Chain A
Amino acid sequence: MKQQNFLKANLKKHFNYSYFRTGQKEIILDIMKGKDVLGVLPTGSGKSLCYQLPAKLLNGTTIVVSPLISLMIDQVKQLKAMQFKEVVALNSFMEYEEREQVFNKLNSYKLIYVSPELLQNNELLTRLSQIEVSLFVIDEAHCISQWGHEFRPNYLKLHSIANALNEPPILALSATATENVQSDIIGALNRPNMIKHIYPMDRENITFCVREVSNEKDKQKRIIHFLSNHRVPTLIYFSSRQSTEIVAKEIARKLPQLRIAFYHGGMDQSERISIQQQFMNDQLDLICCTNAFGMGINKKNIRLVIHYHFPSQIESYIQEIGRAGRDGNASLSLLLFSKKDYYIPANLIQKELPTEAELREVFTQLAEIYKDGYQYPITEQHLEHVLQINEIQTRFLYFQFEKHGMIKNNTIIYEKGHWIQAYHKINQLRIKRLSFKEKKISEMIQWMQKDDCLRKHLYKSFQDTYTEPAFACCSNCGFKLSEWKPEQTIVSKKPPASWEEKLKELFLIGVDNETD
């Protein structure tokens, strides 16, 4: 009890929150006891706080491994805005000088975010092993599992990295982890006594609506029609960067009164921040985005999440719709698909794995590089460049080459018989992963085609039951789009008529602030 009051007081003091959310207190109590913890809580439930508060309270430094650089940078900004200053995000884009400066005072940080790739850097690892690491956090821990929805080979090395850091307690966090994935996480980290805190991920305030449409045009027409009388904070998910731009422009043309932007991973960091912040500030009604948007965004009043393209697995879908209705108010997930869309995700996963011919080609080239007596270190970037394959494929292959001893310490180790074996193993794995991903897609498609309760089927592989929906359940349980009546965004303020007025407004000329 004493400990609980202590935690609550510090929650108020450092983060200005009055209460813990579901699961937070339980997880933090175990962490403060030095236990290893696996936390599975839905998106938006506040998982970050489960290590941010301990980071403040524990003696040494907390290290957080996070797969997305943009996510880390966002978190650091938010923490700094909350006056949590002893925090830094390490990534490979840092300028040399800044990096040196930071490396030289690692022990002065309470919280260090780092990408799994950077943790492969020996210098950093050595330096980190010299400071007191009181907690090692693995965010998005499902990346550790080959059967999770976004496998990151480098995550498998986290076990040995934890060893190098003198085996601090580990906290693994994820929003979507089936039981298989959970045991993969615990197994890969080799911490059999990890305490599991698993919370249901169903969202009682989200209504599901899935609609088949005849084609692309029809899809756009319906969306535009729906948006024309539902002005609420909205996200529309697409599977490609280009389509976010095209459709955003189309909607903007048809509905000039809506404030619309697009967002994808190909945009500059500053551009992305600008769009995010406008959306947070309710300056935008609608964002057309790829799945690059959303992680770490915590806008409470997103009312509507539309899927223009369906995701390639249920896990991603759950994560994406989870951004709606954080405030608990009635929110809607609307998924539109046409028969043509069935092939899109299949094409996308093709890009994630090499074909057999490509694999053979890569082996041949690698052998040639070896025989030419190539002197320089063979890194992932190097491989990507020489072999002309994309980043995701490179990541997969490089990891396999290391695993099969074909590359060690950035050097090629050639042995013909061994390579032939490795080739077959990698090819088998490739086939297995491909069929796994295809299975995932067909699960998603099957779900979309269900004719009984969508809610029931959506969550069934993650949990046994779900909470009764707080509002309408789903389009198969009688929900009609026409009956959805959310509170509309009212933009009362007229936009300033001239730049001069706008400038005046921006500078708060004539606005009283009640001090001095």
Chain B
Amino acid sequence: MLFSGIVLKCCLHINDERSTAAIFHLLKGKRSIQTVQDTHIYHLDHLYGIHQQLTKQTFDRKIKELHHQDLLIPKSSTKNIYKPTDKAKKWIENNKGNLPMNRFQGLKYYESGKIFYQRLLLLIQTLTNSKMHHLHFIPVIDNRSVENWVREAYKQIKPNENKVLSKLHEELHSLLVHFSDKEASLFVNKLTGFKTYGMSIQQLAMMYKMDAIDIQLLLTSMIHYILNVITKEHARYPWMAFIANHIKDNHFMTKSAQKTYHLLNKEKFSIEQIAKRRRLKENTICDHIVEIALNDNHFPIEYYVEKNTFEEILNAIKQTNSLKLKHIKEKVNDDISYFQIRLTLAQIKTRLNR
């Protein structure tokens, strides 16, 4: 149900301008220029990367299901583009109360949410086992950097183990009160302590009679919500804030784009020079620059898109009333490149954001 709602919501925002693959990449958090741009343009930041384990198979099955339920209709049979029906709009309206859509902050937490949750789970397992002098337990989390963090945290906490454990309990308790009883109990059932291993997603699905995928999404929504609260009120949740602290900042740029950024900014290289130096295609470098433009509020767009050109593209956008590159390109002068159009779109987006 939640998954259905999310897919429908995406379709509504995208309004048949993109194929379903774009939605798939968005939910999965693909780090490509195209996806990032889609995320911004269609105001789906909050849903970006909220289901990173999503498989194409599951996703396609859902699209088919929604189609069968008359919630989506194909726009053109060949291109995998679907349009939400009026029934879909009603469906969303009717289920609003059951769809915790507003809790998601995908773009902000798609990475840190995962790490925060893993730290939390492993820290609780460690502290409770330690309290019972049981140091030979099999960690629930299989992630080196999280294990390292917990090891360090544990060293600090050890002298006041009992106190911290009860503080952590208090904070988590008052956070879980924000949710419905069912949601809170689901969250608690997933936790691992001393000689109690948390339930698996499949088990929770069986127990709460929900789809496994909805369980996963629901947990993610709760984690995002919790992160949001503790960021705002860190004084009230010092231990939770401690767990959320110093998670590597959301460098949204891909590593490769970061390198380009460096060469561009520090070394003042041109696109050609960077391409040569990095042995990449110029097109790839252009992709990076669009990515940079999306992230850097001070990006000097004039350098690549002259003022006149910029205006011309803006006009074309207004005329076509579309954000589709192809449509825009048709309306502008032939020497304006796709790269310039994309940069302009990126710029509009970053401006809107501010």
Q: Which residue numbers of A lie inside 8 Å of B, CB to CB? A: 73, 77-78, 81-83, 98, 248-249, 252, 261-262, 267-271, 273-275, 277-278, 281, 283, 498-500, 502-509, 511, 513, 515-516
Contact of B185 with A by CB under 8 A: yes
For B212, the closest partner residue in chain A by CB is A271
Q: Which of B136, B172, B189, B197 has the most CB of A within 10 A?
A: B197
Question: Which residues on B sit within 8 Å (CB–CB) of A248?
Answer: 206
Q: Separation in Å of the B187 CB from the closest CB of chain A?
A: 8
Residues of A within 8 A of B168 (CB): 507
**Contact yes or no, B202 A506, CB < 8 A:** no
B214 to chain A, nearest CB (A): 16
Ranked 7 nearest A-B pairs via Cβ = A499-B185, A507-B169, A274-B200, A506-B193, A277-B197, A271-B200, A278-B197
**Min C-beta distance of A251 to chain B, whole Å:** 11
A243 → B minimal CB distance (Å): 15
In Å, the complex CA distance between A308 and B91 comes to 43
- Please determine whether B139 and A274 come into contact, CB atoms closer than 8 angstroms: no
30 A–B pairs (Cβ distance < 8 Å), ordered by A: A78-B138, A81-B136, A81-B137, A83-B136, A98-B144, A267-B202, A268-B201, A269-B142, A270-B140, A271-B200, A271-B201, A273-B138, A274-B198, A277-B138, A278-B197, A281-B197, A283-B197, A498-B181, A499-B181, A502-B189, A503-B173, A503-B191, A506-B128, A506-B193, A506-B196, A507-B168, A507-B169, A507-B193, A513-B131, A516-B162
Interface mask (B174-208 → A, CB under 8 Å = 1, otherwise 0): 00100001001101110101111111111100100
Contact B188 A502 (CB under 8 A): yes
B contact residues around A98 at 8 Å (CB): 144
For the A-B complex with A83-B136, A507-B166, A508-B193 known, give 19 more contacts whose Cβ atoms are closer than 8 Å.
A77-B138, A261-B203, A267-B200, A270-B140, A273-B140, A274-B199, A277-B140, A498-B185, A502-B188, A503-B176, A503-B188, A503-B191, A506-B191, A507-B165, A507-B168, A511-B131, A513-B132, A513-B133, A513-B162
**Which residue of chain B is the closest to A501 with respect to CB atoms?**
B188
287-304 of chain B: CB within 8 A of chain A: none
Chain A hits for B199, CB < 8 A: 274, 278
| Alpha-carbon distance between A81 and B125 when the two chains are bound, in angstroms | 14
How many A-B Cβ pairs are below 8 Å?
A: 101
Are A509 and B169 in touch, CB under 8 angstroms?
yes
Contacts of A83 in B (CB 8 A): 136
Contact A499 B138 (CB under 8 A): no
Are A503 and B203 interface neighbours, CB within 8 A?
no
| From B53, B136, B168, B176, residue with most partner A Cβ within 10 Å | B136
A38–B168 alpha-carbon span in the complex (Å): 53
Expressed in whole angstroms, the minimum distance between the Cβ of B122 and any Cβ of chain A is 12
Question: Which of A268, A274, A275 sits near B140, CB closer than 8 Å?
Answer: A274
In the docked arrangement, what's the CA distance between A248 and B128, Å? Answer: 31
Q: Which residues of A contact B166 (CB under 8 A)?
A: 507, 509
Minimum CB–CB distance from B72 to chain A (whole Å) comes to 27
Inter-chain contact B173/A500, CB cutoff 8 Å: yes
CB of B101 within 8 Å of the partner chain: no
Instruction: Report the bound CA distance from A268 to B54 in whole Å.
Output: 12
**B169 contacts across to A, CB distance below 8 A:** 503-504, 507, 509
Return chain B residues, CB-CB under 8 Å to A249: 206
For A503, the chain B residues whose CB sits under 8 A away are 169, 172-173, 176, 188, 191
Q: Which residue of B lies closest to A73 (CB)?
A: B142
Beta-carbon contact of B128 and A508 below 8 Å: yes
A499–B183 alpha-carbon span in the complex (Å)? 9
- Tell me whether A273 and B142 are in contact in the complex, defined as CB-CB below 8 angstroms, given that A261-B200, A507-B128 are known contacts: yes
Residue of B nearest to A82 (CB): B136
B241 at the interface (CB under 8 A from A): no
Interface of A is mostly: helix
Partner of B197, one of A73, A274, A507, A511: A274
Check: B124 CB closer than 8 A to any chain A CB: yes
CA gap between A278 and B196 in the complex, in Å: 7
CB distance from A244 to the nearest CB of B (A): 11
Closest residue of chain B to A83 (Cβ to Cβ) is: B136
**Given A278-B197, A283-B196, A499-B181, A506 and B188 touching (CB < 8 A)?**
yes
Q: A274 to B138: give the CA distance in the assembly, Å.
A: 10
The reply to whether B124 and A508 contact each other, CB–CB distance below 8 Å, is no
Residue numbers in A under 8 Å from B197 (CB-CB): 274, 277-278, 281, 283
Question: CA A492 – CA B218 in complex, angstroms?
Answer: 32
Give bound CA distance, A283 to B138, whole Å: 15
CA distance A499 to B197 in the complex (A): 16
Q: Which of A78, A83, A278 has the most CB of B within 10 A?
A: A278
- B residues near A509, Cβ cutoff 8 Å: 165-166, 169
CB-defined contacts of A78 to chain B, threshold 8 Å: 138
* B202, A262: Cβ atoms closer than 8 Å: yes
Q: Are A268 and B53 in touch, CB under 8 angstroms?
A: yes
Q: How far is the CB of B318 from chain A (nearest CB, A)?
A: 46
**CA gap between A83 and B184 in the complex, in Å:** 35
Output the least CB separation between B290 and chain A (Å): 26
Given the interface contacts A81-B138, A269-B142, A500-B173, does A252 sit within 8 Å of B131 by beta carbon? no
Residues of B within 8 A of A508 (CB): 128, 131-132, 165, 193-194
A516→B202 CA distance, assembly (Å) = 40
Collect the chain A residues with CB atoms within 8 Å of residue B140's CB.
Answer: 270, 273-274, 277
Q: Which residue of A lies closest to B165 (CB)?
A: A507
Q: Which residues of chain A come closer than 8 Å to B206, judged between CB atoms?
A: 248-249, 252
Closest Cβ neighbor of B193 among chain A residues: A506
Chain A contacts for B124, CB-based, 8 A: 506-507
The residues of B that contact A274 with a CB separation of less than 8 Å are: 140, 197-200, 203
A275 adjacent to B200 (CB under 8 Å): yes
- Cβ contacts under 8 Å, A82 to chain B: 136
Task: Give residues 141-172 of B contacting A (CB, 8 Å).
Answer: 142, 144, 162, 165-166, 168-169, 172
Q: How far is the CA of A281 from the CA of B173 in the complex (A)?
A: 26
Question: Which of B168, B187, B189, B193 has the largest number of chain A CB atoms within 10 A?
Answer: B193
Q: Which residues of B have CB within 8 Å of A261?
A: 200, 202-203
